[in-house]
Structure 1
Amino acid sequence: MFLQRIANNGIRLGTLFDRAAARFPANFVVLDHDLDCAPGFGRRVTVTELATLVDDFAARLWAARVRPGDRVVLHKSDGFDIPLLAVAVARVGATAVLLSPKLDGATVAELVRRVNQPYLITDQDKLDHHLPADIAGRTQGVLLAAGRHERATALADLAGAPRVDPVTMSPDHPVLITHTSGTTGIPKLAVHTNRTFQARYRPQASVVRLIDKREPVAMHMSFVHSRLFTAMPISLLQGHPLIMLRDDEPAAVAELFTRVRPGIVETHPNTLLRWEVLADDPRRPLAHVKYFSSTFDAIHPRTVATMLRASERRNPRYAQIYGQSEVGPVAARTYTDRHPFDGRCVGMPFPGMTGVRVVSRDGNPVSKANPGFIEVRTDGRILTYLGEHPRWQKQVNDGWWRMGDLGYRTRWGCLHLLDREVDRIPGIDSTLEIEDKLLGRLPELIEVIIVPGSGGVPSPVVCTRDDLPLDGARWQAALDGLPALGEPVQWRQRDLPQTATTKIKRLELARLLTAREVPS
């Protein structure tokens, strides 16, 4: 009955914390940082306190003349107050546009232009050091989440504004706009509604409700990613305590997970890779984890095996979820430590909720050697790309959405993902599969990315733990049985071009290699 009410009304982002507080008033959220908007708020708070804070934020936005139908760009320093402010924006009937703190000022200015005279919520640091001087002229007004600035109104100055009732908008009205990863250029702006979020909520909520409510859920993901706005409601509305991480530094994570032991962990694949060292931490910070999950990018089998080994729970599981910002999750499967993880197998569609097909590129049957275009059908698909509707239309084929990935389905219907279309290298079935094998054979590697090199020879870029020099003999031994690769180029992991969800920008990396712009 509860899921049916969600289906009829959409996820109703603006009243999320009110409804969670009504069901589980004493449930708590643990943070690893202070909120810029409320620095004295504390790091362990109840859902009821968060509901009150969101109500206060909404009152301040109303006092700043934000009204139903307005658009509000959120681009500020990283923190959990980003989703809290987004919920407050939805509460007054406006549409939040979330831009990653990692975006450069020129990109932010271009995206603000596309939004067409929105309000902008930012902070003093962004205005002083990152955003162009004319940014205020592209907006209806600039609001500061922290600090003071002559060209902006500080939200702190609006404290005590009269509270306002939440505004109910149509389930099909845009409630949130997020941006795509930007791995191939300027990010696109994806338009979501309460109803499209609801369609993404249903398949996951039906699974999560089978998990004991006492299991704390730890999340480390981009605070501007659409995934957060389905993962967070699932946990809150089903009564799970939340651990919201801003930073993924292993030492800090280990300390927090030792104090508040999560039963479920969801984060980016590259973050789990970075957390492999936690498996050998004597405090056993991952010992209580029953379920690991990631949905943002391909994950390596070595990382999955390491996470499952770190758990001391009976039959721990890793959930492989395949999806995209534009459509949400569309396929999934789980693995245990008794079943070897296949990094290319991303699972089966959710019955009655999502559909998947693979279309031939050349008229010949689709197979591993001749992968096809992966297309999906789901009610969770975005309405459009803001300001770029023709670009959105190019990816829709009779109701099917082209994911931009290449793969095939097995005789049992399981979907296998081999590569992104733009990352395909002639003569190689799957660069991702080769990367999986190299990471499995060389524990000292913490990242390997294969991109097109000069003369058409695939070029591997490698990162080692603690940036130690790569052992040439071990590298050569690891290449046994693999396609011919160029000489490895060693980088520091922090120097790799990355998106907000830590995906590697492969096209940008290939360009840097070609231009010989390799960090020393």
Structure 2
Amino acid sequence: MGVLFDECAARGVATRFHLDRPFDIGTEEATSYTVPELATLVRRAAGWFAAAGAGPSDRVAIVKPNHWDYDVLACAAVRVGAVPAQLSAQLPHQWLVTLLRRLRPALLVTTAALWEALRAAEPPGLAHAVLLLDGSAPGALGLADVAGIPAPAPHLRHDDEPLVINHTSGTTGVPKLVAHSTRTIIGKLARFETVRYPRIGVRRDDTLVNANAFAHGRTFCWTASALCLDPAEIAILTTQDPDVADPLLRAHPPTLVEALPSAYVRFQPLTARLDNPFRRVRLFISTYDAMHPPTLRAYLRATAHRAPLWMQGWGQTETGPLTFRFHTRRSVAHTSEARGVGRPVPGKTRLRVVDPDTFRTLGRGQAGLVLARTSACATGYVGENERWAAKRHGAWWNTGDLGRLRGDGSVELLDREVDHTPGLSCLRTEDLLEDRLPEAAECVLLSPSGRAPLPVVVTQDGLLDRAAWDRAVRDLPPLGEPVALTWDQVPRTGTGKVRRTALLRQLTGSGETVGSGRWT
């Protein structure tokens, strides 16, 4: 990864990159790049890091606003032999302090505003050195202090040594720090995506749009695979504001879109516009979280392509994709069909469902804890070895998700174990509610301990029509009184997932759930 852009430039990869705003590096004002220009930027940043004291086996923590330069900077760290740790700036500052304590980085790369916030939350000592991308501050280096230092020669490492560290979403508390090696995240995951599969493979005339959380491992993997496939254009969206995203989408109408589930929800109003920007899309891709049927339908109807596909991946930071499911206009016509997350990746992953108490394997159709087996599994949690060991069962990985294997071998997700409610699938109920409440941008069903499930309905104005609600729940098990909130009133992770424990505490004063939380 340290020489990815150099090698692609040498091969003549002609992809043009377009950004919705400049990178968060004070020296850069461009919003369009060629591959050779990005290769130069990686080498320049590698020189900065070497001048700041980062070298082989050191950890370089990167904390900044959401942008694809997370991966550009990570490649620079890899080039000097360091291990980049990409941390979302959207995490609470105290959580970031906790993660930095676990990492003990040789270098912290951040912005002036974030550095001031971190210093306020914790006395100095979070990193051996600090490099600010956009200014200067006491106790930190600025780019002017390290500019002009030539990049050292690329440092090679063994395929099983740590390559990159990313954190999990953090829906239930402080995220885990997941370490991947070159073998797991590049050899097993990215390489799998560089095949030009029929219908779903990237073509050289494609325009890719990516609206993601760029601090997470998915985009580090995507950067490696997408660049090697040499599409015509790649457009990067850092915002989930539809009015801000619309100009870039119209300037570069995508044929392939990958976005966070929350981004798809926020961009959905664009699908109803007369000249919607998704009219050329042949393939939509989503990961991280479940997609609800109304959103799937809106996009599949918006494109003028004769037979568009939606590829939904289910997996985790620790494992990469475990299953794939393809949706079509016909398959999402019924809510019950949209909850399945597909079959295990052929030749790559195996799944089994076990009893959460005894770990006895359950038969098809029986609900239990989902275990996975994959050679792409990460190498461990940084600073939490016991937590990692508790989730390993021999060669199997405990996903912490509840689900069932259907007769055809596909997987149906029911809930996270920590969020489940006996006799009720929160995920399925959320699907039904969103189907029945067109004004809902999102429905969330919380499971407070000792109380009825608590429904939260996210609407544009934070209001909910009571008659519509009563009709929507007429045939559902008893639920608590609904709470209507706006999008911004809901605490979220860097990937846009609802921080369910924080939301439950916000609404009830307690974060206690029905689930045990043993495998979070």
User: Per-residue deviation at 1:366?
Assistant: 4.7
Partner of 1:460: 455
CA contact 2:443–2:456 (8 Å) conserved in 1: yes
Partner of 2:90: 102
Deviates more, 1:86-95 or 1:127-136: 127-136
Q: What is the rounded CA distance, in whole Å, between the counterparts of 1:364 and 1:92 in structure 2?
A: 46
Paired amino acid for 1:420: R
Paired amino acid for 1:225: H
SS of the equivalent of 1:45 reads: strand
Q: What is the rounded CA distance, in whole Å, between the counterparts of 1:330 and 1:516 in structure 2?
A: 33
Correspondent of 1:509 among 503, 506, 515: 503
Q: What is the rounded CA distance, in whole Å, between the counterparts of 2:422 and 2:328 in structure 1?
A: 34
Q: What is the rounded CA distance, in whole Å, between the counterparts of 1:423 and 1:314 in structure 2?
A: 39
Paired amino acid for 1:247: T
Correspondent of 1:417 among 413, 416, 431: 413
Gaps of 5+ in 1: 1-12
Partner of 1:222: 213
Partner of 1:188: 176
Partner of 1:426: 422
Q: What is the rounded CA distance, in whole Å, between the counterparts of 1:115 and 1:405 in structure 2?
A: 27
Correspondent of 2:493 among 475, 493, 499: 499
User: Per-residue deviation at 1:250?
Assistant: 0.6
User: Per-residue deviation at 1:117?
Assistant: 4.6
Q: What is the rounded CA distance, in whole Å, between the counterparts of 2:2 and 2:37 in structure 1?
A: 15
Asked if 1:78 is matched to 2:74, the reply is no
CA contact 1:255–1:285 (8 Å) conserved in 2: no
Q: What is the rounded CA distance, in whole Å, between the counterparts of 1:29 and 1:336 in structure 2?
A: 29
User: Per-residue deviation at 1:80?
Assistant: 2.5
User: Per-residue deviation at 1:202?
Assistant: 3.4
Deviations 1:415-434, CA, capped at 9 Å, x for gaps? 11110000111221x11111
Instruction: Give the length in aligned residue pairs.
Output: 502
Asked if 1:168 is matched to 2:156, the reply is yes
User: Per-residue deviation at 1:84?
Assistant: 1.0
Q: What is the rounded CA distance, in whole Å, between the counterparts of 1:176 and 1:292 in structure 2?
A: 27
Asked if 1:24 is matched to 2:12, the reply is yes
Correspondent of 2:401 among 384, 405, 410: 405
1:516 and 1:390, CA in 2 relative to 1: closer, same or farther beyond 3 A? closer
Partner of 2:434: 439
Q: What is the rounded CA distance, in whole Å, between the counterparts of 2:154 and 2:474 in structure 1?
A: 62
Matches within 5 A, 1:1-20: 13-20=1-8
CA contact 1:112–1:118 (8 Å) conserved in 2: no
Partner of 2:222: 231
Paired amino acid for 2:348: M
Asked if 1:87 is matched to 2:81, the reply is no
User: Per-residue deviation at 1:365?
Assistant: 4.3
User: Per-residue deviation at 1:105?
Assistant: 2.2
Q: What is the rounded CA distance, in whole Å, between the counterparts of 2:448 and 2:476 in structure 1?
A: 17
CA contact 1:462–1:489 (8 Å) conserved in 2: yes
CA contact 1:358–1:407 (8 Å) conserved in 2: yes
Partner of 2:262: 270
Q: What is the rounded CA distance, in whole Å, between the counterparts of 1:499 and 1:139 in structure 2?
A: 24
Asked if 1:34 is matched to 2:22, the reply is yes
Q: RMSD of aligned C-alpha atoms?
A: 1.9
Partner of 1:352: 347
Q: What is the rounded CA distance, in whole Å, between the counterparts of 1:159 and 1:123 in structure 2?
A: 16
User: Per-residue deviation at 1:403?
Assistant: 0.4
Deviations 1:349-396, CA, capped at 9 Å, x for gaps? 11111111111336584565x511111111111101011111101111
Partner of 2:443: 448
Deviates more, 1:163-172 or 1:45-54: 163-172
Partner of 1:5: none
CA contact 1:14–1:166 (8 Å) conserved in 2: yes
CA contact 1:74–1:121 (8 Å) conserved in 2: yes
User: Per-residue deviation at 1:20?
Assistant: 2.0
SS of the equivalent of 2:202 reads: coil
SS of the equivalent of 1:297 reads: coil
Matches within 5 A, 1:91-490: 91-132=79-120, 134=122, 136-197=124-185, 198-206=187-195, 210-240=201-231, 241-340=233-332, 342-361=337-356, 365-366=362-363, 370-428=366-424, 430-453=425-448, 455-464=450-459, 466-467=460-461, 469-490=463-484
Deviates more, 1:88-97 or 1:16-25: 16-25
Q: What is the rounded CA distance, in whole Å, between the counterparts of 2:447 and 2:264 in structure 1?
A: 26
Q: What is the rounded CA distance, in whole Å, between the counterparts of 1:40 and 1:511 in structure 2?
A: 41
CA contact 2:25–2:133 (8 Å) conserved in 1: yes
Q: What is the rounded CA distance, in whole Å, between the counterparts of 2:47 and 2:303 in structure 1?
A: 44
Paired amino acid for 1:170: H
User: Per-residue deviation at 1:257?
Assistant: 0.9
1:60 and 1:142, CA in 2 relative to 1: closer, same or farther beyond 3 A? same
Normalization by structure 1: what TM-score?
0.93
Q: What is the rounded CA distance, in whole Å, between the counterparts of 1:406 and 1:19 in structure 2?
A: 43
Deviates more, 1:53-62 or 1:479-488: 479-488
User: Per-residue deviation at 1:452?
Assistant: 2.1
Normalization by structure 2: what TM-score?
0.93
Paired amino acid for 1:394: A
Deviations 1:260-300, CA, capped at 9 Å, x for gaps? 01111111112111121111122211111111111100110
Deviates more, 1:129-138 or 1:237-246: 129-138
Q: What is the rounded CA distance, in whole Å, between the counterparts of 1:515 and 1:29 in structure 2?
A: 46
Q: What is the rounded CA distance, in whole Å, between the counterparts of 1:447 and 1:248 in structure 2?
A: 15
SS of the equivalent of 1:99 reads: strand
